[in-house]
């Protein structure tokens, strides 16, 4: 296939892959909300880079930096999003691969992530906890609209005009002005 420059690199990549150590009987693929009587081992999400950023920020809120990721741009769903997260009990992302891009018809700007199920609640909480400092007003308004449609408005706290990159938490100049006012 000529995916790698030589046999040594190909061998190293193959040797370094995470293979499931048990006999797999079957797989079940369905929307997460349909899991009512059991839960999956791994949750796979395909999204754009903005949503992936928010997922990783949610992870980082509770667990710190995402470390020891494995990415080759090959074996995207099977290894990078499934067997590696399952065998290593670790979140891993994937830029997907030619096979899944063409067969599943993902958009070129989409990225995959595999999450061991037991991390999911904390990641979702982290996304919620970091919405005010990280999300734009446009994104926050969308969150508020969706929450209202789902009857969840009373379960979220969203503050417009409050994010770190526009100075909502105070720029250096803002803090200098405040300090000067206090000293007067």
Report the interhelical angle of 120-129 vs 49-63 (nearest 10°). Answer: 100
Provide the whole-model pTM: 0.81
Phi, then psi, of 101 in degrees rounded to 5: -60, -40
| pLDDT 10s digits, 111-131 | 999 999 999 999 999 999 999
Task: Provide the terminal-to-terminal Cα distance of the chain, rounded to the nearest Å.
Answer: 72
Q: Give the residue extent of every domain in the chain.
A: 38-129, 136-183
| pLDDT 10s digits, 141-156 | 999 999 999 999 888 8
């Amino acid at each position: 296939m000529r995916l790698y420059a030589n046999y040594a690199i190909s061998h190293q990549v193959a040797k370094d892959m995470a293979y499931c150590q048990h006999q797999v009987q079957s797989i079940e693929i369905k929307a997460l909300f349909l899991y009512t009587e059991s839960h999956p081992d791994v949750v796979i999400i395909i999204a754009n880079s903005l949503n992936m950023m928010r997922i990783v920020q949610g992870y980082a809120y509770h667990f710190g930096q995402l470390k020891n990721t494995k990415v080759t741009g090959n074996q995207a769903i099977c290894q990078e999003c499934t067997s590696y997260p399952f065998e290593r009990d670790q979140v891993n992302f994937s830029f997907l691969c030619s096979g899944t891009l063409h067969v599943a018809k993902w958009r070129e700007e989409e990225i995959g992530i595999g999450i061991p199920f037991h991390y999911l609640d904390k990641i979702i909480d982290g996304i919620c906890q970091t919405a005010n400092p990280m999300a734009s007003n446009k994104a926050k308004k969308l969150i508020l609209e969706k929450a209202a449609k789902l009857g969840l408005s009373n379960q979220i706290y969203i503050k417009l005009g409050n994010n770190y990159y526009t100075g909502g938490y105070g720029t250096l100049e803002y803090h200098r002005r405040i300090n000067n006012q206090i000293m007067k």
